[in-house]
């Protein structure tokens, strides 16, 4: 009889605060209408208590151009974020605004992700090691939910921890 392997759950409750920034061994892809728009095995993930990982991909992984837009936000840990617009590679009349961001001058602890790009999960499909991710609940945080994330400890949507 063959043993069944199950994936161990990752509990974001045990991620650090303040968050950590680490190289991830995972293969990340972003596809839009089946077209690859980013692909890397050289990304960072930011791990923060009660959040699924937020991934930061090197600019060299991007297969399509981005345009900087005027939106900015501020993170107490990472600093000021820059946001980007992107044109759908299969429909040039569709432009998605502010669903990709980076830190051009991050705080010291997050220097490794300088100019790296983070994608909200959607409208494109994001993948971690071939698994299509779900977005972190709500539309404020940019974490990627994979099947190995313990969902009961993730904040983001109304009624979750931290609201």
- How many domains does the chain contain in total? 1
| 159 lies in some domain | no
Task: Confirm whether 25 is domain-assigned.
Answer: yes
Residues of the domain holding 33: 12-61+108-153
Q: pLDDT value at position 95?
A: 96
| Structural domain includes residue 87 | no
State residue 9's pLDDT score.
Answer: 80
Looking at the domain assignment, is residue 133 inside a domain? Answer: yes
In a domain, 39, yes or no: yes
**Mean pLDDT, contiguous 10-residue spans, the chain (163 residues):** 56 85 96 96 94 96 97 95 95 95 97 98 97 90 92 78 49
Domain presence at residue 137 = yes
The predicted structure's pLDDT at residue 5: 44
Question: Is the residue at 55 inside a domain?
Answer: yes
Q: Is the dihedral of CA 10, 12, 17, 21 positive or negative?
A: positive
Q: Which pLDDT belongs to residue 84?
A: 98
Which residues are CB-contacts of 130 (< 8 A; sequence separation ≥ 6)? 27
Tell me the pTM.
0.90
SS3 content of the chain, % helix, strand, coil (to 5): 10, 40, 50
50 found inside a domain:
yes
- Provide the pLDDT for residue 4: 44
Beta strand segments in 41-140, E = 44-47, 54-56, 66-75, 79-87, 95-102, 118-119, 125-128, 131-132, 134-135
Q: What is the pLDDT, as a whole number, of residue 158?
A: 72
């Amino acid at each position: 009889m063959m043993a069944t392997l199950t994936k161990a759950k990752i509990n974001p409750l045990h991620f650090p605060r303040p968050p950590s920034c680490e190289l991830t061994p995972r293969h990340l892809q972003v596809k839009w209408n089946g077209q690859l728009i980013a692909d890397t095995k050289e990304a960072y993930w930011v791990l923060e208590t009660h959040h699924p990982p937020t991934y930061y991909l090197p600019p060299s992984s991007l297969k399509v151009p981005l345009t900087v837009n005027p939106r900015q936000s501020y993170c107490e840990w990472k600093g000021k974020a820059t946001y980007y617009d992107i044109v759908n590679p299969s429909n040039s009349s569709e432009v998605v605004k502010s669903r990709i961001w980076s830190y051009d001058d991050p705080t010291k602890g997050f220097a490794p992700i300088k100019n790296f790009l983070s994608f909200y999960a959607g409208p494109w499909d994001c993948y971690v090691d071939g698994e299509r991710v779900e977005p972190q609940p709500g539309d404020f945080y940019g974490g990627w939910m994979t099947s190995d994330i313990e969902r009961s400890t993730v904040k983001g949507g109304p009624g979750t921890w931290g609201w």
